[in-house]
Amino acid sequence: TKKLTDKVALVTGGSRGLGAAIAKRLADDGATVALTYTSSPQKADEVVLAIKAAGGQALALRADSANVEAVKNAVAETVKAFGRIDILVNNAGVGAFALIDEFSLDDFDRLIAVNVKGVFVATQEAVRHMGEGGRIIMIGSVNSDIMPIAGGSVYALTKGAIASFTRGLARDLGPRGITVNNIQPGPIDTDMNPADGTFADRMKSITALQRYGRSEEVADMVSYLASAEASFVTGANLKIDGGFAA
Ligand code: NDP
């Protein structure tokens, strides 16, 4: 049997980029997967169809992470469809980059709403349905520890919040046998940070490996943390950054 057989996973922001690769990988490992999206129903459907074509079970749910009721509803729909939640991957996230003098309050509020409050709400709701062996996996960023370019202060702030939240949550949930870990990727080739984008050469040159990472490489780490193999890993902030912070 596969290592996540009989497990139910909820992946936020699973329609594109890292989240899509994570959803597919967890399904390959045998998990039943619910994924959320906000603006790309077609992309979300494509991920679901790919999982089903490979013999897995999946469900796409529209839920803007900035909308508390929508996030609560996505957790409820997942439980209604699949009976429980064993693995929550808090992946949905947004970026906004500007120097402090020009950073708008609207962008500040949006980044906090999606990257921080959305993670809090999804986690609070999901753990109500999670038992011994449960897994909370955050997708933070190496930028919580190192922000080598100007304009990223608020993005870094939100990812720093996730790193701290992870430590505290691990203490809350440890006695219940639930682990909480934060994956901190460096530059990964996605729509958010394309390997041929404006910052790409700069980003590449900062990594030790001199390249972008692939979403599947991050999904490999999620797969490990979600599995029984990672049973003694909790409260950890784990970089997967090609040596960006080395
Ligand atoms: P993309 O922009 O490529 O994809 C974002 C995904 O999140 C999409 O599925 C999108 O859904 C979803 N999403 C965005 N906003 C919301 C929202 N308000 N509610 C629900 N879903 C939402 O981003 P990445 O895959 O690159 O990033 C995923 C995570 O990884 C983020 O948390 C990001 O901060 C983090 N990260 C990324 C790095 C990188 O270099 N790419 C590096 C370090 C961290 P839809 O298709 O419907 O818009």
What pLDDT, on the 0 to 100 scale, is given for residue 199?
A: 86
Probe ligand 1: pick from 10, 11, 15, 18, max atoms within 8 Å of CB? 18
- Ligand 1 midpoint to CA 123 (Å): 17
- In a domain, residue 111? The reply is yes
Structural domain including 34 reads 8-240
Any domain includes 3 = no
Q: Are 59 and 48 in contact (CB under 8 A)?
A: yes
Identify whether 246 is part of a domain: no
Flag whether 229 is in a domain.
yes
61 within some domain: yes
| Number of C-beta neighbours around residue 5 at 10 A | 10
Based on the residue annotation, tell me whether 224 is a catalytic residue of this protein: no
Query: What is the predicted pLDDT for the residue at 227?
Result: 98
* Minimal-distance CA residue to ligand 1 atom 11: 37
Q: What is the CATH number of the domain that holds 182?
A: 3.40.50.720
Task: Express each pLDDT in 180-199 by its tens digit.
Answer: 999 999 999 999 999 999 88
- What was the pLDDT predicted at 126? 98
> Taking a C-beta distance cutoff of 8 angstroms, is the pair 48, 35 a contact?
yes
ipTM > 0.95? yes
* 161 Cα: distance to centroid of ligand 1 (angstroms): 17
Question: Residue 2 domain-assigned?
Answer: no
What is the number of the ligand 1 atom nearest to the C-alpha of 215? 25
Q: How many domains does the chain have?
A: 1
| Closest protein CA for atom 6 of ligand 1 | 13
Residue 91: predicted pLDDT: 99
- Nearest protein CA to atom 34 of ligand 1, as residue: 93
b vs e for 87-116, b when ≥16 Cβ sit within 10 Å of the residue's Cβ? Answer: bbbbbbbbbbeeeeeebeeebeeebbbbbb
Those residues of the chain that have pLDDT short of 70 are none
- Sign of the four-CA dihedral 223, 224, 225, 227: positive
> Which amino acid, 57?
Q
Task: Give the atom of ligand 1 at the shortest distance from the alpha carbon of 43.
Answer: 46
